[in-house]
Amino acid sequence: MLLGRTANGLYWMNRYIERAENMARLVDAGLRMALTRTQDASEEWNSVLLSAGSDIAFSQKYQDYTAANVSDFLLRDTSNPSSTMSSIETARNNARMVRTALTRETWESINEAWMSLKRMLARPIDERDLPTVLDAIKRETALIRGSFYGTMLRNEIFDFSQLGTYVERADNTARILDVKYYVLLPSLSWVGSTLDNYQWESILRSVSAHRSYRWVYEADYKPTNIADYLILNVRMPRSLTFCYRFLGEHLKFLADDYGERHACHATAEKIQALLKRGSIKDIFDHGLHEFLAEFIRDNTRLGDEIAQDYRFY
Amino acid sequence: MAAFDEMLPEVSGLRRPYEAYDRWLKEQDPARLTQKMQDAERVFRKTGITFAVYGEQEASERLIPFDIVPRILSGQEWRRLTQGIEQRVQALNAFLDDIYHRQEILRAGRVPKDLIARNEAFLPEMIGVRPPAGVYTHIIGVDIVRISENEFYVLEDNARTPSGVSYMLENRETMMQLFPELFQKIKVRPVENYPQLLRQSLAAVRPQSAKGTPTIAVLTPGSYNSAYFEHAFLADQMGVQLVEGQDLRVVDGHVAMRTTEGYKQIDVLYRRVDDAFLDPLTFRPDSALGVPGIMDVYRAGNITIANAPGTGIADDKAIYSYMPEIVEFYTGRKAILGNIPTWRCSEPDSLKYVLEHISELVIKEVHGSGGYGMLVGPAATKKECEAFAKKLQAKPSNYIAQPTLALSTCPILTEKGLSPRHVDLRPYVLVSDRIRIVPGGLTRVALKEGSLVVNSSQGGGTKDTWVLDD
């Protein structure tokens, strides 16, 4: 038996842990672009902010799209509710609320991540230290994930946690693609200029997939391959298909355990069917942007339905 | 005034309960002990054993300082204490039952009627209500102070929602982690089964309507409450749900919690929410912490609320001064554990005395707790005393006064070695079909040299409390 409020806490705890880490990945990719390109770094930082869904809030506070401003806003600014610091703080508040549902190791890893990041992000980050800080964020969230997978019983508590992780991750990957969908369109860049190559690499870096891409495709960056990898690949842990494979699985566990199916099950199955049926060519024919926009909408709806079906409020 | 030290009284040398510990301590490298002290702090911070301090902005989570020198009681000392405590909690429950029913003690003139009728802690809604199994106060923390080898006094009966038991458990856990060899050398009676005892005790007072194994839950005001860690800890250790008011509602005449599969009935609610917030339909209408309608369910006998609403009348500081009479009235015997002499400022003669001797006395608010709103005369400036005297004159019935006692001391480890500090003791008592007392309790220690205030909110710390198996 699980309280609806506890399920809610577990779901959001994991969404925010995922988000804390995704912010670090986005800044990492932006930093790489800014380092490898001499001009127009500000445009790149703008797309980082767009992917993070924080562009409007940022523009209200800053005028210059610099590495220092953007990384400060996305990593340590507590007035930005999605910054790494805010996210880890929200994750910990949720963990505190659902503490009785967590193993001691899991709770302590979250608490320790919060303590260490709070210390590390207390002062503005010197640009030279940025790589170290980004590594530390990824390490802390990896430790949480490790304790979580290593110690938690695979029951409904685990299921609701995973739903949070994969809804957030799917949203993040889809947004990254949507912000840059135009550089993946064949009509604009058939051959692939140096500029495009950077853009493509940046997309892959944002989901830490620039190396694994080569293992899978054994070739240079190609927009259709990149889109295929991030949308349809079953093995790539941040692809939309991968996320929905696990969302489907955990929702099925819940339906079996409780002996009841809900609206969220139908929605998840609809999205899964869409991902299974299509080839990347179909998606491009249909319109990549249209596909992604619809996906983001459906994914958000799934989150709302889960909350409603399982009495989060 | 020289206080009695429980380890090293100046007159008699080392006291027996501390002999084995002292031998061990002398063999220890001081640097290692300092290291252990830091280890302890790290353990507490990592686990998140923190409490919130009201009225401070930044320090929303603080640690209660922990001292690694245990407070040790012999088996014999403990037996005497438990006899006194058992007698006291029996009297408290009998008093509550009487006050909410026939009021014999008022008719006998042993406690003034006014004191009850005009008391905010008295709940008219409880008149004629008999809780399941007839128990009113299920969980009690009796604050005890020591003055000398054989003099123990009760300072306060915490009969509403006493806190701190998680520290008793975590302190022991920490000590066993830090000094495992010590527990092999010295036989200390265990305290770690408290959560099981609490669960058994709560199950034993389930309502008659509960079939089979009763569903128990802990009701917390939420994660921003100062004692949230303890609420979560106890729910976790007992293996029951930790609920908030927003999770609960009345469904078909029962209190039920919102789960992922719909509403599930609760039979026993261990609530850590004050009376006033329990039911917005009966008490404070603005409360979001409670459950609308829970009092109707309670009156219908369909839920056990522990502790029962209205138990505050028994640990009210104005009632406290009548405890010797109360114990004698219901048990037919003299109180084994004495009270500290108390002046009730509502009585004109007492008020006069208190005003004249304000700089020598400890003055407390009748309804206060946690060391807030009190004056420690000897430690206060003249100006503070004068300001307090004004408050006192404005509403005398709001205050009681007690002499400043030479509370016993127990050494703590400081940078310069052992140094005596004042301590008190809060054993935890569980009442259901029988009375269970875990051998130990929470020893609170005033960390500032000479200070008598042990409350954690006022800079107090804690120690592990040992009852020897001798």
Question: In A, which residues are within 8 Å of B258 by CB distance?
Answer: 3-5, 311
Rounded Cα gap, residues B347 and B106, in angstroms = 18
CATH number at residue A58: 1.20.120
Give me the pLDDT at residue B59, please: 45
Pairwise pLDDT comparison (B341 vs A76), residue with the higher score: A76
* A258 close contact with B: CB closer than 8 A: yes
Domain boundaries, chain B: 16-207+303-339+405-467, 343-403
Domains identified in chain A, total number: 2
Residues in chain A: 313
Where is the domain boundary, A122, A152, A182?
Answer: A152
Rounded Cα gap, residues A75 and A31, in angstroms = 13
The single-letter code of the amino acid at B126 is: M
User: Measured between alpha carbons, how far apart are the two ends of chain B, in Å?
Assistant: 33
What is the per-residue burial (b if ≥16 Cβ within 10 Å, else e) of A183-203? Answer: bbeeeebeeeeeebebbbbbb
Tokens representing residue A68 in the block: 């220092």
β-strand partners of B51:
B62
Phi/psi class of residue B350: alpha, beta or left (left: φ > 0; alpha: ψ in -120 to 50)?
alpha
Tokens representing residue A234 in the block: 């079953």
What are the DSSP calls for B147-184, one per residue?
-SSS-EEEEEEE-S----HHHHHHHHHHHHHH-HHHHH
Give me the pLDDT at residue A193, please: 66
Alpha helices in B267-423 (DSSP H): 275-278, 294-299, 312-315, 317-320, 323-331, 348-356, 382-394
Asked if residues B341 and B323 have their Cβ atoms less than 8 Å apart, the reply is no
Asked if A120 and A237 sit in the same domain, the reply is no
Asked if residues A31 and A67 have their Cβ atoms less than 8 Å apart, the reply is yes
Residue appearing with tokens 């009785």: A100
Where is the domain boundary, A152, A184, A214?
Answer: A152
Please tell me which residue of chain B has the smallest CA distance to A109.
Answer: B46
| Segments forming the whole domain that contains residue A169 | 154-313
Asked if A138 and A158 sit in the same domain, the reply is no
Q: What percent of chain A has pLDDT over 70?
A: 96
Give me the pLDDT at residue A39, please: 65
A271 to A268, A282, A290, A298: CA distances (angstroms): 5, 15, 14, 7
Rounded Cα gap, residues B316 and B365, in angstroms = 10
Residue A192 has pLDDT above 60, yes or no: no
A121 φ, ψ (degrees, to nearest 5): -100, 15
Question: For B301-324, how does the pLDDT look when each residue is reduced to its tens digit (9 = 90+)?
Answer: 999 999 999 999 999 878 899 999
Question: For A239-264, how does the pLDDT look when each residue is reduced to its tens digit (9 = 90+)?
Answer: 999 999 999 999 999 999 999 999 99
User: Measured between alpha carbons, how far apart are the two ends of chain A, in Å?
Assistant: 16
Tokens representing residue A254 in the block: 């819940």
Q: Which of B2, B53, B5, B3 is nearest to B411 (CA)?
A: B5
How many interchain CB pairs under 8 A, A with B?
59
Give me the pLDDT at residue A38, please: 61
Please tell me which residue of chain B has the smallest CA distance to A307.
Answer: B260
Question: For A195-245, how does the pLDDT look when each residue is reduced to its tens digit (9 = 90+)?
Answer: 778 888 888 988 989 889 999 988 788 888 999 999 999 999 999 999 999
Rounded Cα gap, residues A104 and A95, in angstroms = 11
Q: pLDDT band at residue A175, thresholds of 50, 70 and 90?
A: very high
Q: Considering CB atoms only, which of B223, B235, B260 is closest to A96?
A: B223
SS3 B435: strand
Residue A292 has pLDDT above 70, yes or no: yes
Asked if A3's CB is within 8 angstroms of B257's CB, the reply is: yes
- pTM higher than 0.90 for the full model? no
Asked if A173 and A187 sit in the same domain, the reply is yes
Q: Which of A202, A277, A300, A206 is nearest to A286 (CA)?
A: A277
**Which of B259, B263, B265, B289 would best serve as a mutation to test chain A binding (most A beta carbons within 10 A)?**
B259
The burial of B117, by beta-carbon neighbours within 10 Å (0-12 exposed, 13-18 middle, 19 or more buried), is given as exposed
Rounded Cα gap, residues B9 and A258, in angstroms = 64
Tokens representing residue B90 in the block: 């029996």
Angstroms from A263 CA to nearest CA on chain B: 14
Residue appearing with tokens 């809610």: A8
For residue B133, the number of C-alpha atoms closer than 13 Å in the C-beta half-sphere is 23
Asked if A131 and A45 sit in the same domain, the reply is yes
Question: In A, which residues are within 8 Å of B228 by CB distance?
Answer: 96
Angle at B74 between CA B72 and CA B77, to 5 degrees: 110
Asked if A304 and A164 sit in the same domain, the reply is yes
Asked if A298 and A171 sit in the same domain, the reply is yes
Asked if residues B317 and B400 have their Cβ atoms less than 8 Å apart, the reply is yes
Rounded to two decimals, the ipTM of the complex is 0.85
Q: Which of A72, A68, A67 is nearest to A41 (CA)?
A: A67
Q: Which stretches in chain B have pLDDT values below 50?
A: 54-59
Could you say which residues from 229 to 248 on chain B have a Cβ atom under 8 Å away from some Cβ of chain A?
232, 235-236, 241-244, 246-247
Where is the domain boundary, A106, A128, A152?
Answer: A152
Question: B343-403: what CATH class?
Answer: alpha beta
Work out the angle between the directed axes of helices B194-204 and B165-178 (0-180°, nearest 10): 150
Asked if A167 and A311 sit in the same domain, the reply is yes
Give me the pLDDT at residue A280, please: 92
Asked if residues A16 and A144 have their Cβ atoms less than 8 Å apart, the reply is no
Q: Which of A50, A143, A157 is nearest to A94 (CA)?
A: A157
Asked if A175 and A311 sit in the same domain, the reply is yes
Question: For A110-168, how does the pLDDT look when each residue is reduced to its tens digit (9 = 90+)?
Answer: 999 999 999 999 999 998 899 999 999 999 999 999 999 999 999 999 999 999 999 99
SS3 A99: helix
Asked if A251 and A229 sit in the same domain, the reply is yes
